[in-house]
């Protein structure tokens, strides 16, 4: 696995969970919109069908009461070319009725109040008229006055003359005494009032559906938002618990060797001061702060006998020690909040000349945060007592840093370190306070 792959976050569980919640909310919105549209369409269609059925029954009942006494004789519809004055007078009492035609089962027109020369003629039986005469099926539908046929030209022309845009066309079978179909009524009525009624109720239906489904989606959005917050908070608490555990593990590493007590805090303090001097942004300073604190956490896997050995390490022992940057990077890499620290911890023992470890990076291949932590780590090691060496004076340690500029240490990090040493030498002291790392 190369260095870049090692630096990649190992888990994105929280991000994936939040993304899934957002996708779920979006999918729910699409489902609710689709469901609302289907429901609104179905309710609107049902409303229309019911309104047409009610109007059809009402008109058929009215016309039957007016027409039957004159045109039905002995269970048959008779042709009346001359009479029907009483029918016309009665129909005038219902202004919404534009025209009425009465049919025999054969397709002969038995009577009409318009264009009387058509009475007695046969017309082709098709569509709704055929259904009413042969299938005992009553129907009602809207007819635009822009469309007409030879059979209903007169009715459509009258409607246009009256300024009626839409007609209600009703076909209703005429029943005999034994329930048999003996003819059919074809009724044309002004559909304006019915149009307005259906339109207003359709608006109410769509508004109600929209309000209900919007309320459902809003409630779902609130639940998802609360769930997201709860998930984020739970993740934060989990991350904090894990961070506390890592901090405790780091303290365990420091406590293994009384000579290195406080080493991690001092490296943290010096590294942050160098980072500030270099003008690193707040997020990178934050990563540097944790990298300085946890840079040696991988030493938890190094035996105590090797860590506290007062003499020079053997090659095999040194190889074990050299594993601690990778082990430390793996430990902190399991916390999403510490992903940004992984490169600095993994590469803080790389050297500018390429002879460091674990990957032998050189020059600008080394992340600047790693170079800073490496310098701070080396400086603190020089200025504190160790089993194998006594602490050096501050001036001597600074001179050693300068001598290794461009070989062990990054020139930019050394130059920033020197500016810190010149302006704030107290920040480099072993006993300097460690609790004031404000990154503002």
Task: Please tell me the pTM assigned to this model.
Answer: 0.55
- Hey, which bits of 263-408 come out as E strands? none
Name the residue among 336, 335, 332 with its Cα closest to residue 324: 332
- What SS3 state is found at 184? strand
Beta-bridge partner residues of 172: 185
Mean pLDDT in residue range 41-70: 92
Q: Range with the lowest mean pLDDT among 3-17, 155-169, 324-338?
A: 3-17
Residue 13's pLDDT band (boundaries 50, 70, 90)? low
C-alpha distances out from residue 24 to 13, 14, 247, 248, Å = 16, 15, 37, 39
CA distance 308 to 253: 12
Beta-bridge partner residues of 300: none
Q: Would strands 139-144 and 109-112 be described as parallel, antiparallel, or unpaired?
A: unpaired
Tell me how many degrees the CA angle 21-37-213 measures, rounded to the nearest 5.
Answer: 50
- Residue 36 has which token pair? 């609302």
Model confidence at 289: pLDDT above 50: yes
Residue 407's pLDDT band (boundaries 50, 70, 90)? very high
pLDDT of residue 149: 55
CA distance 132 to 339: 79
CA distance 93 to 23: 62
The 8-class DSSP code of residue 393 comes to: P
| Of residues 36 and 239, more confidently modeled | 36
Name the residue among 272, 248, 98, 90 with its Cα closest to residue 169: 98
Task: Give per-residue pLDDT as tens, 308-321.
Answer: 777 788 888 888 88
- Residue 179 has which token pair? 């329930």
The 8-class DSSP code of residue 405 comes to: B
CA distance 170 to 185: 8
Model confidence at 14: pLDDT above 80: no
Instruction: Write down all domains in the chain, each with its CATH number in brackets.
Output: 16-205 (3.30.450.20), 257-428 (1.10.3210.10)
- Residue in this structure with the two tokens 């009413």, named with its chain if needed: 132
Mean pLDDT of the chain: 84
| Of residues 268 and 6, more confidently modeled | 268
Beta-bridge partner residues of 190: 167
pLDDT of residue 254: 66
- Residue 210 has which token pair? 């929209």
Name the residue among 285, 289, 291, 300 with its Cα closest to residue 248: 300
Length of the chain: 440
């Amino acid at each position: 696995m190369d260095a870049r792959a090692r630096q990649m976050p190992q888990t994105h569980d929280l991000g994936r969970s939040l993304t899934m919640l957002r996708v779920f909310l979006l999918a729910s919105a699409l489902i609710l919109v689709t469901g609302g549209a289907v429901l609104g369409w179905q309710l609107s269609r049902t409303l229309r069908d019911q309104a047409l059925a009610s109007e059809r029954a009402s008109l058929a009942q009215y016309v039957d009461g007016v027409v039957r006494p004159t045109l039905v004789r002995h269970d048959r519809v008779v042709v009346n070319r001359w009479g029907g004055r009483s029918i016309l007078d009665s129909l005038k009492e219902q202004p919404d009725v534009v025209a009425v035609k009465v049919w025999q089962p054969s397709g002969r027109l038995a009577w009409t109040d318009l264009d009387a020369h058509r009475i007695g003629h046969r017309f082709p039986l098709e569509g709704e008229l055929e259904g009413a005469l042969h299938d005992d099926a009553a129907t009602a539908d809207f007819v635009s006055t822009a469309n007409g046929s030879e059979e209903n030209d007169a009715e459509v022309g009258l409607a246009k003359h009256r300024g009626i845009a839409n007609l209600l066309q009703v076909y209703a079978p005429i029943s005999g005494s034994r329930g048999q179909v003996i003819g059919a009524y074809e009724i044309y009525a002004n559909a304006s009032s019915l149009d307005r009624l259906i339109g207003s109720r359709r608006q109410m239906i769509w508004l109600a559906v929209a309000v209900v489904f919007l309320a459902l989606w809003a409630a779902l959005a609130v639940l998802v938002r609360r769930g997201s917050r709860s998930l984020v908070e739970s993740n934060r608490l989990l991350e904090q618990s894990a961070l506390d555990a890592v901090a405790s593990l780091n303290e365990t590493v420091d406590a293994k060797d009384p000579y290195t007590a406080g080493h991690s805090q001092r490296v943290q303090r010096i590294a942050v001061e160098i980072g500030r001097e270099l003008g690193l942004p707040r997020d990178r300073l934050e990563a540097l702060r944790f990298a300085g604190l946890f840079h040696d956490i991988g030493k938890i896997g190094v035996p105590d006998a090797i860590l506290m050995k007062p003499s020079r390490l053997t090659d095999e022992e040194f190889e074990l020690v050299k594993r601690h940057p990778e082990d430390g990077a793996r430990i902190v890499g399991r916390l999403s909040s510490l992903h940004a620290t992984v490169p600095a911890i993994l590469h803080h023992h790389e050297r500018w000349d390429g002879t460091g470890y674990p990957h032998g990076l050189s020059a600008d291949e080394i992340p600047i945060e790693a170079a800073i932590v490496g310098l701070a780590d080396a400086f603190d090691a020089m200025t504190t007592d160790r089993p194998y060496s006594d602490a050096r004076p501050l001036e001597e340690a600074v001179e050693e840093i300068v001598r290794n500029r461009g070989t062990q240490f990054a020139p930019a990090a050394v130059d920033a370190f020197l500016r810190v040493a010149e302006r704030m030498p107290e920040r480099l002291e072993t006993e300097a306070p460690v609790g004031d790392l404000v990154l503002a």
